[in-house]
Structure 1
Amino acid sequence: MAFRDRGIEIKTAEQIDLMRVAGRLVGETLELLRAAVRPGVTTLELDTLAEAHIRDHGGVPSFKGYSHPPFPATICASVNEEVVHGIPGDRVLVEGDVISIDCGAIVEGWHGDAAVTVPVGEVAADVTELLRVTEESLWRGMAAARLGGRVTDISHAIETYVRAQGRYGILEDYTGHGIGTEMHMSPNVPNYGRRGRGPTIVEGLALAVEPMVTLGSKHTDLLEDEWTVVTVDRSLAAHFEHTFTVTDRGAWVLTAVDGGEKRLRELGVPFGGR
C-alpha cells in the first residue's frame, strides 16, 4: 500500500478486491432494507435488521461507536427534512415519508459505505423527482471520473446535472470522501465546483461519492443529539452514495451489487470490475 498527495491511501488490486467484499455486503444490506421500508416500520427495526445481516455475513458495522459522541447505531436513518446522520429509534414511518439510509461495513479491515433514499408508500411527484435527480447525479459524477483526471471532475458533473434539472439545494458543508482502511479519509469529494481541481484520480484510489440535495435551501442545522443534520427550512432532502474506484479498464462501483456494470454501460462508461 502506498500513500500519496497528503495522506491519500492508494490500494493494490488485491486490496481493492477486499474492499469489494465489504462493498457488496453494504449493497446487499441496503437492498434488504429498501425492501423492508413500509408504513408502520420503525427506524430502529431497520437498524436491527441491518446489524444482523452485516454480522451474519462476516462484517462489522462501520458506524456503530464511530466518532464523538459515539454514533449509537448501525445505520443512519434520516427522515424527510433530516439530510444525514439521523439516529434510528422509535419513529414510525408513515405514508408519504422519505427515508435516507446510510450504511457502512468493515470486512477484514476494509470499509464499504453507501446510501439510498427510499419513498415510504406513495409520495408527491416533486419528491419522486428529487430522488431521481439525486441518484442520477451520483451516477453522472462517478461516470465523469477518469484515470489522470481530477477529483473535482466528479464534483462538477454532479452540480451540472442537478442545476440542469431545476431549483434544488446542494449541500456544501458535507461532502464525499476517500475510503479504505478507515471510513473517512482524504480527499474530500464536494458535490459542486469547477472541474480539473483537487488530487489526481489514479488506480487504487477509492472514493465514496454522496450527493445530498434538497427541495429548498442548501443550509442546514445540527440537532441537539450532535448528529442529525436537518434543512434550515425543513424542506425534504435526498442522499445517495456509492463507494467506487477506477481501474485501467473503467469504473467499478464497489457497493453496487452488480458492480455498477448495467448503469455505467447505459452511461457509456467502460466497466472496470473484476
Structure 2
Amino acid sequence: MSQLITGEKTPQQMKDMRECGRMLATIYDELRQKVTAGMSELDVNEFVAGRIKDFGAEATYLTDEVKFPGVICVSTNEQLVHSFPTDYVFEKGDVVSFDLVIGYRGMKTDSAFTMVVDEEPRGAKKHLLHATEQSLYAGIDAISGDGTRVGDISAAIEAVLKKAKLGIIRELVGHGVGLEMHMSPEIPNHGQRGTGPVLHAGDTIAIEPMASLGGEKIVTEDDGWTISMKDGSLGAHFEHTVLITETGAEILTKL
C-alpha cells in the first residue's frame, strides 16, 4: 500500500470524493432492487458498467493498475471476496457479496454489501448478515475524530463479531482510500483499543469487516482472484468509505 497523504486533499478533491461516494451508493441502491433469481453475475457486471458510464465515472477495477476481469466483484455463497463475474445464474437463497470501487475526477471510493437473493434473510443467514453489518457501524461509531487510533476501530469490529460467534477474517483488512484504491494505513478487523496508527481529520479510509458462519481460514482459488472460505461456509462482507472529521466520521458511500 502507498502512504496515506494526510490532510493534503484540497476542498475540490473532497467535493469530488463525496460525489464519487454518492454515485457508488446510488448504484448499490439500484442493484439491491435489481438482483433476482435468474439473473447472472455477468448481467450484474453489465448493469453496473452502464451506470458507471452514465455517471461519467471510472471503473477502477478495469484500470491498468488492477486489470480485474470485471467492473465489480461478485462473490457468491462460500466465495468471500474478489470473485470476478461469471455466467453463474443466481438462485433463490444465494448469499451474494458485491464489492465496487469507482473513480471520479481522480478520487476513488470503495464500498461493499451482502444480500440474500429473492428472500428475506432468516436464521443463520440473517445472523451472519446482521452481525457483520453491525460490526461495520460499530467500527465507524468508534471514530472519535482527529486522533482516533486504528485499533479503536478494529477492537469495536472484533467485539461485535466475537459476541456473534462468527468467524473473523483476520487475513484481509480495510485500508486508506482516496487518491488511490489502496493506501496506508491498513484497518484490521481485530485489534486493541489505543493501538495502531493515528488517524487525523481529512483522512479517508475504507472499513470492511468480513465474517463467516464457520472458521476463519480462507483460500485463493485457482483463478488467482477469488478468495473463498476454506471450510465452504457462508461469508459476508460490508464496507463503507469514511472521512475522519475533527469530532467524528462522515460516511461517504451512503445516501
TM bin, normalised by shorter chain, reads over 0.9
Q: What's the CA shift string for 1:37-81, capped at 9, x where partnerless?
A: 11111011011111110111110111124656x211010000000
Residue aligning to 1:76: 73
Give the Å deviation of 1:253. Answer: 0.4
Give the Cα separation in 2 of the matches to 1:135 and 1:196: 23
Q: What's the CA shift string for 1:206-256, capped at 9, x where partnerless?
A: 000000000001101101110000000000000000000121253110011
Secondary structure in 2 aligned to 1:8? Answer: coil
Secondary structure in 2 aligned to 1:138? Answer: helix
Give the Cα separation in 2 of the matches to 1:135 and 1:13: 30
Task: Give the structure-1-normalised TM-score.
Answer: 0.88
Residue aligning to 1:200: 198
Residue aligning to 1:182: 180
Q: What's the CA shift string for 1:97-149, capped at 9, x where partnerless?
A: 01100011100000010001011123541101100001110011011012212
Residue aligning to 1:159: 158
Alignment of 1:1-274 (within 5 A): 7-10=3-6, 11-65=9-63, 67=65, 70-122=67-119, 123-146=121-144, 147-165=146-164, 167-257=165-255
Question: Which runs of 5 or more structure 1 residues have no equivalent in the other structure?
Answer: 1-5, 258-274
Q: Which has the higher contact order (CA 8 A, sep 6+)?
A: 2
Secondary structure in 2 aligned to 1:187? Answer: strand
Partner AA of 1:71 in structure 2 = F
- Identical residues among aligned pairs (%): 39
1:150, 1:201 within 8 Å by CA — same for their partners in 2? yes
**Deviating 4+ runs (over 3 angstroms):** 65-68
Give the Cα separation in 2 of the matches to 1:86 and 1:219: 17
Give the Å deviation of 1:15. Answer: 2.2
**What is the root-mean-square deviation of aligned Cα atoms in Å?**
1.4
Partner AA of 1:175 in structure 2 = V
Secondary structure in 1 aligned to 2:199? Answer: coil
Secondary structure in 2 aligned to 1:155? Answer: helix
1:83, 1:231 within 8 Å by CA — same for their partners in 2? yes
Partner AA of 1:152 in structure 2 = G
Partner AA of 1:18 in structure 2 = D
Residue aligning to 1:262: none
Give the Cα separation in 2 of the matches to 1:43 and 1:131: 20
Matched residue pairs, number? 250
Give the Å deviation of 1:33. Answer: 1.1
Partner AA of 1:126 in structure 2 = A
Residue aligning to 1:3: none
